[in-house]
Chains A and B, each alone.
Chain A
Amino acid sequence: MGNNKSSFLEEELQEYEDLTFLTRKEIITAWSRWEGLIGSNVANNKATRYPAETIEELPELKHNPFRDRILRVFSSQRDHKLSFEDFLDLVSVMSDKAPLQLKAYYAFHIFDYNEDRTLDGSDLSIVVDKLTGAEELLQEQKKKLVDRLLEETDLDGGGISEEEFKHLLTKCPDFVHTFRFSI
């Protein structure tokens, strides 16, 4: 770890520490993971952006059915590329210390496939598809599921809104246990 520390300026490290939920060590680990993804000699600039396909190789993302969405949501310029700082954002949100509301905000946008700021029937059916993976539910089963989902939660019609989603997850203690990984 010793030589990795030199890739950061002291102020830089301090800044990252202040702005994320990560500890100093975790930031340095994140950097070495990042270097592992894109090759260590290429980048020393934290703002250089790399295509999402490179970052997808991270084991934590590789098998995640929502990886394309995750990378899209965390790409700060919506250009299908990520910089180290975006990556740090991702790691910070996924860390244990990030509050539920923050996690819920990002989870909402990850699940919002058509990006219309509501989770509606079409979003949910994609989510269910992704969750079950290779073994797909029958069309009618899926429809029943999605209908039921919306009926249970959707108060104002037209899908689950962000606030509703956040409220929902505050009532769901399992969410913080699953929406996380440690670097």
Chain B
Amino acid sequence: MASYTHTVEVENIPLNEISGNHSSSSDDEHSHVNLRRARTDVHLRERHNRESTKYHSYSGRERRVQYMLPSQHGGELLSSHTLHYGSEHRQSAWFNTVMARRRRGVSPNTEDEAVEELADAMEGDEKLMSENVDGEIMRREVLRELYKPLRVKKEIRRRLTARRSSHRYSSRTISRMQYLKYTLSMRWYKIRQSVLDTFHDYSLWHKEIKEIEGTFGTGVGSYFKFLRYLFLLNLTIVIIVCGFLLTPQLLARLHDDTSMPHTTTDVPVTTGATPLGFSFKNVSGKPGTVRVVSNSPATTSVAGTRRPTSLSTTTKKVIPSIENDDTTKVFGPLDWLTGAGWFESTELYYGTYRSDSFSLMKDVHYNISRAYFFVIFLAYVIYLIVILHRVIVLYKNNYIDVEHDMSASFVKKVFSSWDFSITEKKAATIKHRSIYNELKELLQEFLSEEQEEGWLRQLAGWCIKLLFWAIVLVSLGLLGWAMYAMLKSGIDKDIITKTDSSGFGPLVYPLIVTCIIIIVPWVFGIIVKVEGYRIPRHRLYVTLIRTILLELTVLGVLVGFWYMHAVDPNSTTHTDDSNTNKGIGDFKILSESLQEADYCWETSLGEEFYRLLIIDFFVVVIMQLATLIFFVATQKQITKGKIHHYLLEFDISRNTLHLIYNQTLLWAGLFFCPLTPVIVLLKITIMFYIQKFSVLKFLQPDERPWRAAQTETVFFALTLVSLILSFLGYGFIIFRGNASSSCGPFQGCHHYIDCLWNAANNNEKKVLNIFSWILKPGVVAGILGILFILVYCAKSIAEGRAEMIKVLRRQLELEVRDKAFLLQLTDKVRRGEYRPASPAHIRAASPPRSSPAAPQDLTQRSSFVFTDNKVHPVHVEPEPRHFSDYTDAHSSDRYSP
């Protein structure tokens, strides 16, 4: 046999059709039967054997041929719009037109030609040129996303507009109505765009964040962006709380004052006016005049006349001091820190809010207790929805879509490691060093991958980790118990020594808590290094989880303690005693009237939260100051040790965790101290400037690499966890907790929810029923279950896709080998090593529609059949040919059986 035909099938074309004509060689048949199978095997074997060298790398000449392939020109033109991943998968018509031209081998040589071609193609696209807003928007998007310089885009746009206007002129088919509609919707689109642009341009702290990113890179920038996010979120809540809760309450006070003037208390108002008004202004950020009046004892005495038996402890504290004409006692300087004393009678805490409705106009009633319930509930729900949404988006983008294609982790590290926003030399140097370290770390990882660890070693590693986890958990438990004991002894001591609660005493507990919150995470950071997690990211995650557990323990103990304290009847009487005794001696009558009223535990808890927030703030400020002093002191020293470096480093994760802690405090304290969002808002604002100053002036950027995307997701997830826990705690207290019977909006009810029940009419009861039904444990569990199922489904879909990706990848590799083979072959043909078969033979071997002569068919895979007619020298017996032959010429003998 002189000629030898080797037919390769790329897609499933019936083999008989082709090979039937020349059933000459038996090994031909053999290679067809197990074709697909054999390819895969060969491929895998090969990859394994020849690790780093590519099996199908081209030599120089073939490479040149490769660039002539149509597929190499496709990418140049693709505009990202056509490749949108997700919903929009279809490529637009103009793009297909251009691609069709490319396939025919037509490509523009000069820029003018390119412009002409694109403009023509776009002109032909009906959807793109349609005379409505969609068309307009589409045109804008398409041009924007074209991979061409601005000049070319401008030219194309000009031509399109010119043609469009001439077109419109020639066919005046649009009615007046349509035209109006078009103009209106176009204007609407423009307005929307400009509003969005304005938000973009004047986004909060835009300049500051840019500056920080320039000097520190996006890692530190992400911390500040998180801060801004929380600020905006809290701002919304502040507006809601102030608008629907604080203002009505103040109006009610004002209303009472003006309608029932009390002459006896006029004098103290004037004496107390300036300090009170001024100081309160700082807390709430509102004009002080209303508060001055509202804070006057008039209110309390009004309350007293209306409800003589239910004077709260707060009332008691204010009245005696005013009547002693001792204004400093009304507002002691320490009250700032403790949140007690004068603050107790303000709207800062739960206890001051009224339980009745008032009406400014006739027949319009505003029930404060209901408002209290709904505003707080609404605030939680808003927080929940916003953060949940954010977590879902981040999780989807950064985990589900990404996770399963881990093949390229290394490439990612190279291509996305440089931070293009860096503008400072110092930052650039540090970035270089950090990338260097990371790459070295990666190389080491490869090495350790290659030498598998023994199972004994692995087991030992696991044991160590388990042991450390146990230690951490036990110590957290002990810590919680210690806190509880401390709180209890603090209360007991109060009773014994009868100290005034406005002294330094109450500050001890929050001070300790804050120190714990700041110091223990450092310890965790050290522990985790000993434990031997190999991947730095795991180290970070473990530390994060532990820190969050710590915070939850501390806050859980705090809330739990006060709650139990309130529920437990023994302790209530204790506090009663303590309260009555705390008063200044000569108010026996008042104290007696207080005997039956119990202690307002919500207010006390609110005070605790206030103190935690304030002390935390001061500690942070002091620490920053200390760092500054340290910096100034050591600036002249030439030798800068490790500790120096450590202290002057901006640790992103620690700082972000601190923000989350603050936010958790807010959520936990929201019910007891409804103005926490205001405090946190102010705090965040001040923190922003302090941090900015210290970051820009004397701190060093973190040298460790910071993977913003995935870490951000984890941080948000942690925020969500703490929010959900606070929300559940709130729900529990609302339904099961015992309301203080003498203070706050829910006074006189056993459970909080009862008040709403009593006040509601039939319609509202239905709503309430729904609420309570939603908050039932079973329902909550059900909702969570559904969520879990949804997440599970999403994950399985992603896994399915990952499988598919693997299959397609393999397929692609095979096709690529085909391509390499073809290129080699064409090259050989050109060099004359192959003699093309006679035309008759080709006709017989392949149906005309798939003749390889037409270049455009090369890309249409479904109809592509290649026939290799090789003329062997007569004296040599043709070797049996197999698929593996066409990898490259030198290695063919290696894989043939």
Whether A89 touches B149, Cβ cut-off 8 Å, given contacts A18-B157, A181-B421, is: yes
B150 and A175 form a contact (CB under 8 A): no
Residues of A within 8 A of B140 (CB): 18
Question: Are A173's CB and B439's CB within 8 A?
Answer: no
* B475 interface hit (Cβ, 8 Å): no
CA distance A83 to B819 in the complex (A): 41
When the two chains form their complex, are residues A149 and B153 in contact, meaning their CB atoms are under 8 A apart?
no
Stretch at the interface among A2-10, A36-44, A133-141: A133-141
Interface contacts beyond A127-B415, A131-B439, A173-B397: sample of 16 additional A-B pairs, CB < 8 Å, sorted by A: A18-B140, A25-B201, A63-B424, A76-B151, A99-B81, A128-B439, A158-B54, A165-B415, A168-B412, A169-B415, A172-B408, A172-B416, A178-B417, A178-B418, A178-B421, A181-B423
Please measure, in the bound complex, the distance between the C-alpha atom of A172 and the C-alpha atom of B863, giving whole angstroms. Answer: 35
Q: What 1/0 flags go to B78-93 for Cβ under 8 Å of A? A: 1111011100000000
Contact residues, A93-118 vs B (CB, 8 A): 94, 97, 99-102, 105-107, 111, 116-117
14 CB contacts below 8 A, A to B, read: A19-B154, A63-B423, A94-B420, A100-B80, A128-B414, A131-B418, A132-B436, A152-B407, A153-B408, A155-B813, A157-B820, A163-B74, A171-B402, A180-B421
**Contacts known (A102-B145, A131-B435); A19 close to B157, Cβ less than 8 A:** yes
Residue of B nearest to A62 (CB): B423
Which chain A residue shows the least CB distance to B63? A158
Choose from A134, A144, A152 the contact partner of B432 (Cβ within 8 Å).
A134
Check A20–B443 contact: CB distance below 8 A. no
Complex Cα–Cα for A59 and B428 (A):
11
Give A141 to B443 CA distance when docked, in angstroms. Answer: 8
Given contacts A177-B708, A178-B416, contact A131 B432 (CB under 8 A): yes
CB contact list, B404-435 vs A, under 8 A: 405, 407-412, 414-425, 427-429, 432-433, 435
Q: Which residues of chain A from 18 to 71 have any CB-CB distance to chain B below 8 Å in the complex?
A: 18-21, 23-26, 47, 59-60, 62-66
Establish whether residues B422 and A63, one from each chain, have CB atoms under 8 Å apart when the complex forms.
Answer: yes
- Establish whether residues B72 and A85, one from each chain, have CB atoms under 8 Å apart when the complex forms: no
Q: Which residues of B contact A161 (CB under 8 A)?
A: 72, 75
Contact check, B72 vs A117: say whether CB atoms are below 8 A apart: yes
Which residue of the partner chain, among A63, A158, A182, contacts B210 with CB atoms under 8 Å? A182
CA distance A19 to B79 in the complex (A): 13
Q: Which 8 residue pairs are nearest across A and B when measured between Cβ atoms?
A: A101-B80, A133-B432, A76-B149, A173-B709, A63-B428, A156-B816, A23-B197, A59-B423
Contact A163 B75 (CB under 8 A): yes
**Which B51-68 residues sit within 8 Å CB-CB of chain A?**
51-52, 54-58, 63, 66-67
- Given that A85-B149, A131-B414 are known contacts, is A144 also in contact with B439, CB under 8 Å in the complex? no
Q: Which residues of B contact A172 (CB under 8 A)?
A: 402, 408, 411-412, 415-416
For the complex, is A13 an interface residue (Cβ under 8 Å from B)?
Answer: no
Contact B201 A64 (CB under 8 A): no
Task: Decide if B816 touches A137 in the complex (CB within 8 Å).
Answer: no
Expressed in whole angstroms, the Cα–Cα distance for A29 and B248 within the complex equals: 46
Tell me the complex Cα distance, A116–B371, Å. 68
- Chain B 601-623: CB-based contact to A (< 8 A → 1; otherwise 0): 00000000000000000000000
CA distance in complex: A179, B412 (Å): 12
In the complex, A157 Cα to B81 Cα: how many Å? 28
Which chain B residue shows the least CB distance to A132? Answer: B436
B809 part of interface (Cβ distance < 8 Å): yes
State the CA gap A149–B52 with chains docked (Å): 10
Q: A60-B423, A131-B435, A149-B414 are in contact. Are A162 and B75 (CB under 8 A)?
A: yes
| A149: B residues at CB distance < 8 A | 410-411, 414
Residues on A with C-beta less than 8 A from B151 are 47, 76, 83, 85
Is B634's CB within 8 Å of the partner chain A?
no
CB-defined contacts of B168 to chain A, threshold 8 Å: none
Residues of B within 8 A of A148 (CB): 410, 446
Contact, CB under 8 Å: B150 / A88: yes
Task: Given A18-B140, A19-B150, answer yes or no on A178-B420 (Cβ-Cβ < 8 Å).
Answer: yes
A159 and B132 CA atoms in complex are apart in Å by 44
Q: Is the CB of A158 within 8 A of B58?
A: yes
Q: Are B415 and A107 in contact (CB under 8 A)?
A: yes
User: How far does the Cβ of B858 sit from chain A's closest Cβ, in whole Å?
Assistant: 15
Contacts of B206 in A (CB 8 A): 182
- What is the CA–CA distance of A65 and B775 in the complex, to the nearest angstrom? 57
- Name the residue on B nearest A144 (C-beta): B443
Instruction: Say yes or no for B786: interface residue by CB 8 A criterion.
Output: no
Inter-chain contacts of A160 with B (CB < 8 A) = 411
Which residue of the partner chain A has the closest CB to B52? A147
For the side of the interface on A, what is the size category?
A: 35 or more
CB distance from B762 to the nearest CB of A (A): 52
A151: CB under 8 A from chain B? yes
| Residues A144 and B446 in contact in the complex (CB < 8 Å), given A157-B56, A181-B421 | yes
Give A85 to B58 CA distance when docked, in angstroms: 39
Which B residues contact A (CB, under 8 angstroms)? 51-52, 54-58, 63, 66-67, 72, 74-76, 78-81, 83-85, 140, 143-145, 147, 149-154, 157, 197-198, 200-201, 206, 210, 213-214, 218, 222, 397-398, 401-402, 405, 407-412, 414-425, 427-429, 432-433, 435-436, 439-440, 442-443, 446, 707-710, 809, 812-813, 816, 819-820
For residue B397, which residue of chain A has the nearest CB? A173
A179 cross-chain contacts in B, Cβ below 8 A: 416, 420
How near does chain A come to B112, taking the closest CB pair, in angstroms? 13
| Distance between Cα atoms of A51 and B51 in the complex (Å) | 45
Q: Is the CB of A153 within 8 A of B197?
A: no
Are B436 and A99 in touch, CB under 8 angstroms?
no
Measured CA separation A154–B57 after assembly (Å): 11
Q: Which residues of B contact A25 (CB under 8 A)?
A: 197, 201
Chain A: which residue is nearest B207 at the CB level?
A182
Whether the Cβ atoms of A170 and B443 lie closer than 8 Å is: no
How far apart are the CA atoms of A156 and B72 in the complex, in Å? 12
Known: A19-B144, A135-B432, A173-B397. A181 touches B420 (CB 8 A): yes
Chain A residues lying within 8 Å of B55, measured Cβ to Cβ, are: 157
Selected contact of A111 from candidates B54, B415, B819, CB within 8 Å: B415
A75 — nearest CB in chain B belongs to which residue? B149
User: How close is A15's CB to chain B, nearest CB, in angstroms?
Assistant: 7
Which of A19, A59, A106 contacts B214, CB < 8 Å? Answer: A59
Q: Report B765 CB to chain A, min CB distance, Å.
A: 48
Task: Note all chain A residues with C-beta closer than 8 A to B398.
Answer: 173
Assembled-state Cα–Cα distance A150/B820 (Å): 17
Q: How many Å lie between the Cα of A156 and that of B83 in the bound state?
A: 21
A103 to B, closest residue via Cβ: B80
A23 CB contact (under 8 Å) in B75, B201, B210, B422:
B201
**In whole angstroms, how far apart are the Cα atoms of A128 and B411 in the complex?**
11
> Of B201, B402, B412, which contacts A26 at CB under 8 A?
B201
Q: What residues of chain A lie closer than 8 Å to B411, measured between beta carbons?
A: 149, 152-153, 160, 168, 172
Instruction: Please judge, given known A-B contacts A18-B143, A152-B408, whether A132 and B439 are in contact too, CB under 8 Å.
Output: yes
In the bound complex, what is the Cα–Cα distance between A97 and B443 (angstroms)? 35
Q: How far is the CA of A175 from the CA of B401 in the complex (A)?
A: 14
B80 with A99: CB separation less than 8 A: yes
| CB-defined contacts of A88 to chain B, threshold 8 Å | 150
B758 to chain A: closest CB distance in Å?
52
Q: What chain B residues lie within 8 Å of A150 (beta carbons)?
A: 54
Report yes or no: A152 in contact with B410, Cβ–Cβ below 8 A: yes
Nearest B residue to A29 via CB reads: B201
Measured between alpha carbons, how far is A30 from B427 in the docked complex, in Å? Answer: 23
Please tell me if A166 contacts chain B, counting CB pairs below 8 Å: yes
Interface centre among A20, A47, A151 (most CB of B within 10 A): A151
In angstroms, Cα B336 to Cα A117, docked, is: 66
Contact between chains at A157 and B58 (CB < 8 Å) = yes
Q: How far is the CA of A168 from the CA of B401 in the complex (A)?
A: 12
User: In the bound complex, what is the Cα–Cα distance between A128 and B355 (angstroms)?
Assistant: 69
Question: Which residues does chain A contribute within 8 Å of B419, judged by CB atoms?
Answer: 178
Complex contact B416–A134 (CB within 8 A): no
Evaluate contact between B429 and A134: CB separation under 8 angstroms. yes
A131 to chain B, nearest CB (A): 5
